[in-house]
Structure 1
């Protein structure tokens, strides 16, 4: 057992990468294409909001934070996955595993917190239109974002640190990347404390954020029924955009959580890999597309910026 612990603490085998080796060039090409495309679209959105003064508003600042988090999330595993597939590497060090786990869970926490802030922002914009400029300034929006990131790092740091001190008796992970639950499943002894702490923390955060989001959207919708038709249509269009992005994230999260409930013997490794990769990639790729297409003012500016960039090249 001591030998296993020592070996596990040195490196882990990513069985998901092993599973993908048969078509590694195809998968690496897809991963690289998705990563470059996502980074470019997100960069374009951030550039447009940064350079266009008409978009210097809290809503667009929050959209920037969301797509920047997508860049952060995709960078935590897609470059390594591409490199692993092309180089034939199927392992990751223990420290590297913990770091990747920390960043991936931080991405998810930031995503949840950002959707909560955006729901509150839209509630204020529709419910308090006259007071909104004072209630939600750009400076206040930036403070919310800073608190968002710091809070996400703090809530993720504790469970990942607890996992770092677990004695592990195994080195095979049923995934293409590291995340906390996969590591806990390799624990030699009883990991009840880790499981309870992680479950309670996730439940409290997810439920509180979900209740806040649902409350804000219901209240906003009720207010929309009482305002002018034109203002109502504009508000509803924005709500639908936020709901589409949030629903995509929640559905993807559900499938990832479902994976932990599946018996590893009853579901193939390929299915486990498919569930986690699609579950993680869906919100990362969907957010910039949803906001780039559905947010009219942003879409117009993006098209113009892209046309300027292409004409400059030619």
Structure 2
């Protein structure tokens, strides 16, 4: 019996000897991380510097991109160090910090996608009253809630796990996971399990319910509306639905790996499935929103096609002062 405060480190047992291949894996993960950072930062800058994109829909997209950067940074640098290391250990404080980052990333992703579905519901079902319902103050409140609720819920989860009495320090994963830490507990974990159900309800079940409700209403309007309404709904909802489906698959892989015996699956495939949640979603969102939203796509092309630094600064200045012509934006 030993209290978690006396556990100075955890051992990540999912890593295996890859010999020279570890340098290939390192370069692959580094390339993915650089692409995620560059793509998401570029899209954030494009939206922020262009006044025509200061609309609720794009502000929610910025919140989504910021979360992708947050989640990726909470995991990728750690993975890169671990791949090159021969001893796969992590200090207890850092382990709980990483666990907090991983779970808040997932929670913010769900709540942000739910907020975006609500925004699309208002835009499609109440187009004439949209700007009355979706004011700037309301956007600020919604974004604040989408971030603060998961952070509070996961903070309590992390605090409860950190106070557990543990009988081991081996985590069978490539990063710290709350489920595996609870499995190391010496005594009853009823309080942790009950609170986890509450946290899952707040940051998963409630957002999913909002998404289902809003899309039911959107489908109802589409079936009863005109062809133009259906086309608008498809163009507006396609990126969001694609992002939601991709993230749901990643979450499903994570749950299956944690709750069921995966010993029959090769180690490398298990690791890839556990990382799908954090690698594919940030890349997928940057690509799907960058390509599908015409305003963002055109602005990115204009930004990247600027050949001289002076022209780039001039472009940013015109965007800020609102002197860019409408033909440049659309």
TM-score normalised to structure 1 length: 0.91
Q: Aligned to 1:62, which of 46, 60, 83?
A: 60
For residue 176 of structure 1, report the CA deviation from its aligned partner: 1.6
TM-aligned CA distance change 1:92 to 1:107, over 3 Å: same
Counterpart position of 2:175: 177
SS in 1 for 2:165: coil
Alignment of 1:47-196 (within 5 A): 47-196=45-194
* Cα deviation, residue 195, structure 1: 2.2
Contact kept in structure 2, 1:28 and 1:86, CA below 8 Å = yes
Q: Of residues 206, 212, 233 in structure 1, which corresponds to 2:231?
A: 233
Tell me, yes or no, if the aligned pair for 1:245 and 1:287 is still in contact at 8 Å: yes
Which deviates the most, 215-224 or 45-54? Answer: 215-224
| Equivalence for 2:245 | 247
Contiguous gaps of at least 5 residues in structure 1: none
Q: Could you give the per-residue CA deviations for residues 81-130 of structure 1, whole angstroms, max 9, x where no partner exists?
A: 11222344511100000000011100101001001100110111111111
Matches of 2:246 and 2:126, distance apart in 1: 28
Aligned residue for 1:225, secondary structure, equals helix
- Quote the Cα distance in structure 2 between the aligned partners of 1:19 and 1:211: 43
Distance 1:23 1:199, change over 3 A: farther
> How far does residue 313 in structure 1 lie from its aligned partner after superposition?
9.8
CA distance in 2, matches of 1:182, 1:239: 37
Question: Kindly tell me: are residues 169 and 116 of structure 1, through their superposed partners in 2, closer, same or farther at Cα, counting changes over 3 Å?
Answer: same
How many residue pairs get aligned? The number is: 311
Computed over aligned residues only, the root mean square deviation of the Cα atoms, in angstroms, reads: 2.2
2: CA distance, partners of 1:88 / 1:300: 46
* Alpha-carbon contact 2:5-2:162 (below 8 Å) kept: no
CA–CA distance in structure 1, aligned partners of residues 48 and 4 of structure 2: 49
Whether contact under 8 Å (1:56, 1:138) holds in the other structure is no
Q: Relative to structure 2, which stretch is displaced further, 143-152 or 115-124?
A: 143-152
Aligned residue number for residue 207 of structure 1: 205
State the alpha-carbon separation in 2 of the partners of residues 288 and 81 from structure 1: 22
Tell me the alpha carbon deviations over residues 130-152 of structure 1, each in whole angstroms, 9 at most, x when there is no partner.
Answer: 11112112332122111211111
